[in-house]
Amino acid sequence: MYRILVADAIKPEGLEPLLQASEIELIQKKIEEAEESLHEFDALLVRSATKVTEELIEKMPNLKIIARAGVGVDNIDVPAATKHGIVVVNAPDGNTISTAEHTFAMMAALARHIPQGHSSVKNGEWKRSAFTGTELYGKKLGIVGMGRIGGEIAKRAKVFGMDVLVFDPFLTSDRAKKLNVTSLSLEELLPLADIITVHTPLTSETKGLLNKDNLRTCKKGVYLLNCARGGIIDEDDLYELLLENHVAGAALDVFVEEPPAGNKLLELDSVITTPHLGASTKEAQFNVATQVAQEVLVFLEGNPVANSINLPAISKEQFEKVQPYYQLVKQMGSIGSQCMKEGINEISVTYGGEAFHFDTSILTKSLISGVFKTRLDGPVNEVNALLIAKERGVTIGEKISTDAYGYANCISVTVKGDNRQLDIRGTHVENYGSRIVSLNGFNIEFLPEGNFLYIQHTDQPGVIGNVGRILGDDEVNIATMQVGRKQAGGEAIMVLSFDKPLSDEMFEKLNELPDISFMYRMSL
Ligand SMILES: NC(=O)c1ccc[n+]([C@@H]2O[C@H](COP(=O)([O-])OP(=O)(O)OC[C@H]3O[C@@H](n4cnc5c(N)ncnc54)[C@H](O)[C@@H]3O)[C@@H](O)[C@H]2O)c1
Ligand SMILES: O=C(O)CC[C@@H](O)C(=O)O
């Protein structure tokens, strides 16, 4: 049974996929109200009100996924979630249209002084000339951040007869051409635009992206809009430029502090505002709730998510290609870790054969998580595997090769410590399953599932018999046994599997046998 905490107001109809699922309990409570039971939740669903800090994450040791019903994840400490192995997903396009429409409504309201006119009439006035506005037609609209929302605004601006200038360092010339917009640097855009609207995420680079220094290069009388995140236009600088009438007016849906109690921008008539309503439509709220509900469900069922912030995005099609090897590499990592009784300096993997014509990075993450899972206490998974390896100074190598050692596909993993190294090879055969086919250069074949004993010994009569006898005397049943050697009379290996893990006592007894070089227990 998975327990999901819905901590913000998320549209209940959108949560239907989770409500319909079996083995899922959905609890709608604010964090403060759920304080006593935070440790029980597997998933957390939020909008922008809940601040998902590292402190909160630490109070939720069972948490596996954080879902943001919306686009911006600036209310979530993503690095902390990553460190704790928690997947973060969002709903990237469910509210695009609503936010673009809201921005457009704000633009029209700004240009025609609609909120001011509205208040004036309600106050019993009829001041027509005081609210003379400007047409949008023929004006130059500067869009800063040409992603999903920026793109929708550009389309609407074109229909209004506006000339669209955009600044986005990541915009390709192809997309600019398709949208029929002029791509400029910020320095080029600012002096040309009559109206500027920002649609970037809030990051360390975009905080204060528009400030008094560069806004002074704008035309006097420019209009500014921020329906993205508070702080992209520096609030103090904006206040100063509005007082000077250098900026004629600003439309703000978002603020650095929300609600913006005491914010001096609210004192100015030239500022029109809404309480972070960009995504507040029935349609957008249904879309984002459905998107994240589906993502959480898919994730809890063990399938790949499409909109993760801290995992490589992987499509269903891609996952079908990756899936057969996903568990195999994790088990190979686990074998490597359990057989290396010392610190690990290096993990390298080669994906051999025709099968690996896809992005193998998720497989490498699965391998690394397999290595560390048996060594670390906390959560270890594909989300934090690379970070854990980096923190421990472990070098990771990944190669693709055409050589599959006679198999259709073959994954070779080497785990190196200060003094030793272990080489493992595995393959996957359709309708047959995964097998380990070589350990330390010894050909062998076993299914990597269950409790194992790996014994390296001298190849001579009696060794296998002795092992069998000691186990038999203590009524330990051998489930399977595989042997391998490189040459007669040299070193050889045995891999035995048991229904239960081998006891310490039995391990010691076997270890005392003559002609045994070393042995390891593994649970896979
Ligand atoms: N007001 C609301 O209710 C509301 C609703 C939805 C989204 N938002 C905000 O709008 C933002 C944009 O949403 P989106 O769906 O268009 O996101 P998106 O990821 O599709 O687009 C963001 C664009 O910003 C660009 N960008 C990044 N850094 C930049 C920089 N330094 N300078 C210029 N451009 C830069 C990116 O290249 C990208 O094209 C979100 O991050 C969110 O914070 C607000
Ligand atoms: O939850 C909301 O209404 C705001 C969402 C919006 O800011 C977003 O980033 O998607």
The 10s digit of each residue's pLDDT in 186-198 is 999 999 999 999 9
Q: Which of 158-162, 203-207, 402-406, 485-489 has the lowest mean pLDDT?
A: 485-489
| Residue to mutate, 97, 200, 256, ligand 1, most ligand atoms under 8 Å from C-beta | 200
Residue 345: what pLDDT? 93
> In 3D, which of 463, 433, 429, 470 has the Cα closest to residue 448?
433
Answer yes or no: is the C-beta of 249 below 6 A from any ligand 1 atom.
Answer: no
Percentage of the chain with pLDDT > 90? 85
**Contact criterion met (CB below 8 Å) for 377 and 316:** no
Residue 342: what pLDDT? 84
| Domain covering 450-524: architecture | 2-Layer Sandwich (3.30)
- The residue with greater pLDDT, 327 or 319, is 327
Which uninterrupted H or E stretch holds 80? helix 78-83
Averaged over 139-158, what is the pLDDT? 97
- C-beta atoms surrounding 453 within 10 Å: 23
The alpha carbon of 49 and the centre of ligand 2 are apart by a number of angstroms equal to: 9
Sequence-ordered alpha helix ranges (H) in 113-183: 114-122, 148-159, 173-178
Answer yes or no: is the C-beta of 338 below 6 A from any ligand 2 atom.
Answer: no
- Provide CB contacts within 8 A for 128, sequence distance 6+: none
| Residue to mutate, 199, 273, 274, 307, ligand 1, most ligand atoms under 8 Å from C-beta | 199
Integer Cα distance of 337 and 320 in angstroms: 27
Whether the pLDDT of residue 304 is over 80: the answer is: no
Per-residue confidence band for 11, with pLDDT thresholds at 50, 70 and 90: very high
Per-residue confidence band for 306, with pLDDT thresholds at 50, 70 and 90: confident
Residue 341: what pLDDT? 78
Domain residue extents for the chain: 2-92+283-300, 96-273, 312-435, 450-524
Per-residue confidence band for 277, with pLDDT thresholds at 50, 70 and 90: very high
Residue bearing the CA closest to ligand 1, atom 8 = 228
Per-residue confidence band for 374, with pLDDT thresholds at 50, 70 and 90: confident
| Residue to mutate, 8, 71, 200, 307, ligand 2, most ligand atoms under 8 Å from C-beta | 71
Integer Cα distance of 30 and 37 in angstroms: 12
Averaged over 198-225, what is the pLDDT? 96
Answer yes or no: is the C-beta of 72 below 6 A from any ligand 1 atom.
Answer: yes
- C-beta atoms surrounding 391 within 10 Å: 10
Averaged over 221-235, what is the pLDDT? 98
Residue 270 Cα distances to 73, 112, 116, 141, 356, angstroms: 30, 12, 9, 19, 59
In tens, the pLDDT along 204-213 reads 899 999 999 9
Residue 420: what pLDDT? 87
Kindly state the DSSP code that residue 53 receives in the 8-state scheme. Answer: -
Integer Cα distance of 35 and 485 in angstroms: 59
Name the closest ligand to CA 230: 1
Q: Which of 224-233, 300-309, 327-336 has the lowest mean pLDDT?
A: 300-309
2-92+283-300 folds as: Rossmann fold (3.40.50)
The alpha carbon of 282 and the centre of ligand 1 are apart by a number of angstroms equal to: 21
Residue 262: what pLDDT? 97
Residue bearing the CA closest to ligand 1, atom 2 = 278
Answer yes or no: is the C-beta of 71 below 6 A from any ligand 1 atom.
Answer: yes
- Provide CB contacts within 8 A for 54, sequence distance 6+: 77, 80
Integer Cα distance of 222 and 190 in angstroms: 9
Q: Which atom of ligand 2 is nearest to the CA of 70?
A: 10
Whether the pLDDT of residue 333 is over 90: the answer is: yes
The alpha carbon of 169 and the centre of ligand 2 are apart by a number of angstroms equal to: 24
Answer yes or no: is the C-beta of 72 below 6 A from any ligand 2 atom.
Answer: yes
- On the CB side of 506, CA atoms within 13 Å amount to 21
- C-beta atoms surrounding 51 within 10 Å: 13
Q: What positions carry a catalytic annotation?
A: 229, 258, 276
Residue bearing the CA closest to ligand 2, atom 5 = 70
Residue 301: what pLDDT? 87
Averaged over 6-24, what is the pLDDT? 95
Answer yes or no: is the C-beta of 199 below 6 A from any ligand 1 atom.
Answer: yes
Answer yes or no: is the C-beta of 95 below 6 A from any ligand 2 atom.
Answer: yes
- The residue with greater pLDDT, 341 or 9, is 9
Q: Which two tokens stand for residue 363?
A: 């497989």
Residue 232: what pLDDT? 98
Residue 154: what pLDDT? 97
Residue 358: what pLDDT? 87
The residues with which 308 forms a beta bridge, in sequence order, are 89
Name the closest ligand to CA 147: 1
Q: Indicate the pairing of strand 65-68 with strand 87-90.
A: parallel
Per-residue confidence band for 334, with pLDDT thresholds at 50, 70 and 90: very high
- Tokens 């009524």 sit on residue: 475
- On the CB side of 305, CA atoms within 13 Å amount to 29
Which uninterrupted H or E stretch holds 491? strand 491-498
Spell out the SS3 assignment of 184-227.
Answer: CCHHHHHHHCCEEEECCCCCCCCCCCECHHHHCCCCCCEEEEEC
The alpha carbon of 233 and the centre of ligand 2 are apart by a number of angstroms equal to: 18
**Dihedral, CA of residue 229, residue 234, residue 239 and residue 245, to nearest 10:** -100
Residue bearing the CA closest to ligand 1, atom 10 = 228
Averaged over 377-393, what is the pLDDT? 88
Answer yes or no: is the C-beta of 364 below 6 A from any ligand 1 atom.
Answer: no
| Residue to mutate, 11, 47, 307, ligand 2, most ligand atoms under 8 Å from C-beta | 47
Secondary structure class of 445 (helix, strand, coil): strand
- On the question of a common fold for 2-92+283-300 and 96-273, the answer reads yes
Integer Cα distance of 374 and 265 in angstroms: 55
CA 303, chain centre distance (Å): 14
Averaged over 272-280, what is the pLDDT? 98
> Domain 312-435 has what CATH class?
alpha beta
- On the CB side of 147, CA atoms within 13 Å amount to 14
Answer yes or no: is the C-beta of 231 below 6 A from any ligand 1 atom.
Answer: no
Q: Which two tokens stand for residue 66?
A: 């954080």
Residue 311: what pLDDT? 81
Integer Cα distance of 67 and 75 in angstroms: 11
ipTM over 0.90: yes
Answer yes or no: is the C-beta of 253 below 6 A from any ligand 1 atom.
Answer: yes
**Mean pLDDT of all residues in the chain?**
94
Per-residue confidence band for 98, with pLDDT thresholds at 50, 70 and 90: very high
Secondary structure class of 307 (helix, strand, coil): coil
| Residue to mutate, 8, 48, 71, 104, ligand 1, most ligand atoms under 8 Å from C-beta | 71
Answer yes or no: is the C-beta of 434 below 6 A from any ligand 1 atom.
Answer: no
Q: Which of 56-60, 108-112, 354-358, 491-495 has the lowest mean pLDDT?
A: 354-358
The alpha carbon of 496 and the centre of ligand 2 are apart by a number of angstroms equal to: 56
- The residue with greater pLDDT, 321 or 145, is 145
Residue bearing the CA closest to ligand 1, atom 21 = 147
What is 96-273's CATH superfamily? Answer: NAD(P)-binding Rossmann-like Domain (3.40.50.720)
In tens, the pLDDT along 446-484 reads 999 999 999 999 999 999 999 999 999 999 999 999 999
Whether the pLDDT of residue 303 is over 80: the answer is: no
DSSP 217-274: TSPTTEEEEE-S-TTSB-HHHHHHHHHTTSEEEEEES--SSSS-TT-GGGG-TTEEE-
Which uninterrupted H or E stretch holds 479? strand 478-485
Secondary structure class of 493 (helix, strand, coil): strand
Q: Indicate the pairing of strand 433-439 with strand 442-446.
A: antiparallel
Percentage of the chain with pLDDT > 70? 99
Whether the pLDDT of residue 313 is over 80: the answer is: no
Name the closest ligand to CA 100: 1
Answer yes or no: is the C-beta of 147 below 6 A from any ligand 2 atom.
Answer: no
The alpha carbon of 85 and the centre of ligand 2 are apart by a number of angstroms equal to: 24
